[in-house]
Amino acid sequence: MPTLYYSRNPNPRLAAAVARYLDAPVTLEWAAPFAPGQAERFLPLNPTQRIPILVEDDSQPLWEADAIACRLSQLVNSDFWRQGAAQPDMIRWISWGKENFVRACDIVSFETGTKPRYQIGPSAPDAIAEGHRQFHEHAPILDRHLDRRDWLTGDTPSHADFRMATFLPFNATMRLPLADYPALDAWNARLNAIPAWADPFQGLNTPELPPIPA
């Protein structure tokens, strides 16, 4: 059975959520590829040494969360990764999100979560302010699009929804004002009503992230 290496960090969490949502035939294995002694194991699987990584028998390891979501959808023949005429619209939102909304969230998450969690330097107020500025630039676009629809594309969740929301499970730390955008906030609530998205680690032996110092 294929193995998906994951952790609680944003992109590995995304891949794990996709796997659990699709009930994909994979074994989920928690990994810490930058821990001492792990480079020899993970560098041959991904030249960046990062997870998520999907390993299938007799296949090249697959890395990057979006590529893994595509492959997992293939394994279960799901339109979570849209096909045919619906595919360009999904890819449009994935592409736009990563370059705009997701990037804004990433800036804030890195400064308010990653830096203090892993003790890699003080948070930069200017960077946090820039992340919030970008959030308020891009959130209205999502809010308008979601005003009369439940999901970004089609009548069911797709990978565009999961990708766009990559960092929103960490909003207790980011403190982005989702409530300022009612349709966006309602969409996020719909995602959180999906068990695989709300807690992709249910029943798995998954260590908690390091705590953020008070």
What per-residue confidence (pLDDT) applies to 57?
85
Query: Could you tell me if 129 and 47 lie in one domain?
Result: no
Q: d(Cα 62, Cα 56) in Å, to the nearest integer?
A: 8
Residue 143: both structure tokens together:
């809010």
pLDDT, tens digit, for every residue of 72-126? 999 999 999 999 999 999 999 999 999 999 999 999 999 999 999 999 999 999 9
The closest alpha carbon to 64, from 52, 75, 82, belongs to 52
Q: d(Cα 75, Cα 132) in Å, to the nearest integer?
A: 38
What per-residue confidence (pLDDT) applies to 117?
94
Residue 27: phi, psi to the nearest 5? Answer: -95, 125
Q: d(Cα 85, Cα 45) in Å, to the nearest integer?
A: 33
Query: Could you tell me if 141 and 182 lie in one domain?
Result: yes
Number of domains in the chain: 2
What per-residue confidence (pLDDT) applies to 199?
98
The strand ranges marked E within 32-87 are 53-55, 62-63
Query: Could you tell me if 93 and 70 lie in one domain?
Result: no
Q: List Cβ neighbours of 52 (8 Å cut-off, separation of 6 or more).
A: 4, 5, 6, 11, 12, 14, 15, 16, 63, 64, 65, 68
What per-residue confidence (pLDDT) applies to 58?
77
**Domain of 74, in residue numbers:** 3-78
For residue 123, the domain's CATH number is 1.20.1050.10
Query: Could you tell me if 115 and 187 lie in one domain?
Result: yes
Q: d(Cα 51, Cα 30) in Å, to the nearest integer?
A: 10
Query: For the chain (length 214 residues), average pLDDT per consecutive 10?
Result: 97 98 98 96 96 92 98 98 98 98 98 95 96 98 97 98 98 97 98 98 96 88
Output the 3-class SS for 129-195.
HHHHHHHHHHHHHHHHHCCCCCCCCCCCCCHHHHHHCCCHHHHHHHCCCHHHCHHHHHHHHHHHCCH
Q: d(Cα 195, Cα 26) in Å, to the nearest integer?
A: 18
For residue 34, the domain's CATH number is 3.40.30.10
Are 18 and 117 within 8 A, CB to CB? no
